[in-house]
Amino acid sequence: MAENNYIVKLQNISVSFDSEQVLKDFSLGIKDKEFVTLLGPSGCGKTTTLRTIAGFVSPDSGDVLFDGKKINGVPAYKRQVNTIFQRYALFPNMNVYDNIAFGLAVKKVPKKEIRERVSEMLKMVNLQGFERRNVNSLSGGQQQRVAIARAVINRPKVLLLDEPLAALDLKMRKDMQVELKNIQKSLGITFVFVTHDQEEALAMSDTVVVMNDGVIQQIGTPQDIYNEPQNAFVADFIGESNILDGVMEKDFLVRFFGREFTCLDRGFEPNEPVDVVIRPEDVDIVPPQSGMLTGTVTSVTFMGVHYEIIIDIDGFKWMVQTTDEHHVDDSVGLVIEPDAIHIMHKSIYSGLYGDYSSFSDEMDTLSDPDSEEGEN
Partner 1 sequence: MNKRTFGSRLVAAPYLVWSAIFVIVPLIMVVFYAFRDPSGRFTLQYIAELGRYGSTLLISLLYAFIATLICLLLSYPVAYFMSHRSQNVQKTMMLLVMLPMWMNFLIRTYSWITILSNTGVINTLLSNVGLGPVQLINTPGAVILGMVYNYIPYMILPIYSVMCKIDKPLLEAADDLGSGSFMKLRKIILPMSVPGIVSGITMVFVPAVSTFYISQKLGGGKTLLIGDAIESQFMSANNYNLGASLSLILMVLILISMFIMNRFADEDGGVLI
Tally the residues of the chain.
376
- Sole binder of partner 1 in the list 78, 132, 171, 327 (CB under 8 A): 78
- Sole binder of partner 1 in the list 45, 103, 239, 246 (CB under 8 A): 103
85 is a contact residue toward partner 1 (CB under 8 A): yes
Give the C-alpha separation, 146 to 134, whole Å.
11
Give the C-alpha separation, 344 to 246, whole Å.
10
Give the C-alpha separation, 55 to 64, whole Å.
9
Least separation in angstroms between CB 95 and partner 1: 11
- Facing residues of 20 across strands? 17
Least separation in angstroms between CB 64 and partner 1: 15
- Sole binder of partner 1 in the list 154, 221, 299, 347 (CB under 8 A): 154
> 202 with 225: CB under 8 angstroms?
yes
Amino acid making up residue 263:
C
- Facing residues of 23 across strands? 15
242 is a contact residue toward partner 1 (CB under 8 A): no
Residues 6+ apart with CB under 8 A from 72: 58, 59, 63, 64
Residue 100: phi, psi to the nearest 5? -65, -35
**Chain residues 31-60 in contact with partner 1, contact rule CB under 8 A:** 54-56
151 is a contact residue toward partner 1 (CB under 8 A): yes
Least separation in angstroms between CB 148 and partner 1: 13
Least separation in angstroms between CB 51 and partner 1: 9
- Sole binder of partner 1 in the list 37, 47, 86, 143 (CB under 8 A): 86
Identify which range of 103-111, 182-190, 230-238, 360-368 contacts partner 1 by CB under 8 A.
103-111
- Sole binder of partner 1 in the list 18, 77, 112, 305 (CB under 8 A): 77
Helix/strand/coil (H/E/C) assignment for every residue in 35-89: EEEEECCCCCCHHHHHHHHHCCCCCCEEEEEECCEECCCCCHHHCCEEEECCCCC
Using the minimum distance from each CB to partner 1, give the nearer residue, 160 or 343: 160
87 is a contact residue toward partner 1 (CB under 8 A): yes
Using the minimum distance from each CB to partner 1, give the nearer residue, 75 or 351: 75
Ordered alpha helix ranges (H), 188-335: 198-204, 222-227, 232-237
- Sole binder of partner 1 in the list 16, 95, 102, 245 (CB under 8 A): 102
109 is a contact residue toward partner 1 (CB under 8 A): no
Residue 245: phi, psi to the nearest 5? -75, 135
Using the minimum distance from each CB to partner 1, give the nearer residue, 92 or 188: 92
Least separation in angstroms between CB 106 and partner 1: 4
Least separation in angstroms between CB 201 and partner 1: 23
- Residue 260, classed as helix, strand or coil, is strand
Distance between alpha carbon 106 and the CA centroid of its chain, in Å? 34
DSSP 93-132: TSBHHHHHHHHHHHTT--HHHHHHHHHHHHHHTT-TT-TT
Least separation in angstroms between CB 225 and partner 1: 29
Least separation in angstroms between CB 216 and partner 1: 25
- Residue 169, classed as helix, strand or coil, is coil
Q: What angle do CA 283, 316, 213 make, to 5 degrees?
A: 90
- Sole binder of partner 1 in the list 49, 52, 82, 321 (CB under 8 A): 82
- Sole binder of partner 1 in the list 68, 75, 273, 338 (CB under 8 A): 75
Strands 272-278 and 242-250: antiparallel
Using the minimum distance from each CB to partner 1, give the nearer residue, 81 or 211: 81
- Residue 213, classed as helix, strand or coil, is coil
Strands 207-212 and 35-39: parallel
Using the minimum distance from each CB to partner 1, give the nearer residue, 77 or 302: 77
255 is a contact residue toward partner 1 (CB under 8 A): no
Using the minimum distance from each CB to partner 1, give the nearer residue, 91 or 111: 91
- Sole binder of partner 1 in the list 91, 116, 123, 367 (CB under 8 A): 91
CA distances from 172 to 74, 111, 139, 175, 199 (A): 36, 34, 11, 5, 15
Please give the residue ranges that form the binding site for partner 1 (CB under 8 A). Answer: 54-56, 75-78, 81-83, 85-87, 89-93, 102-103, 106-107, 150-151, 154, 376
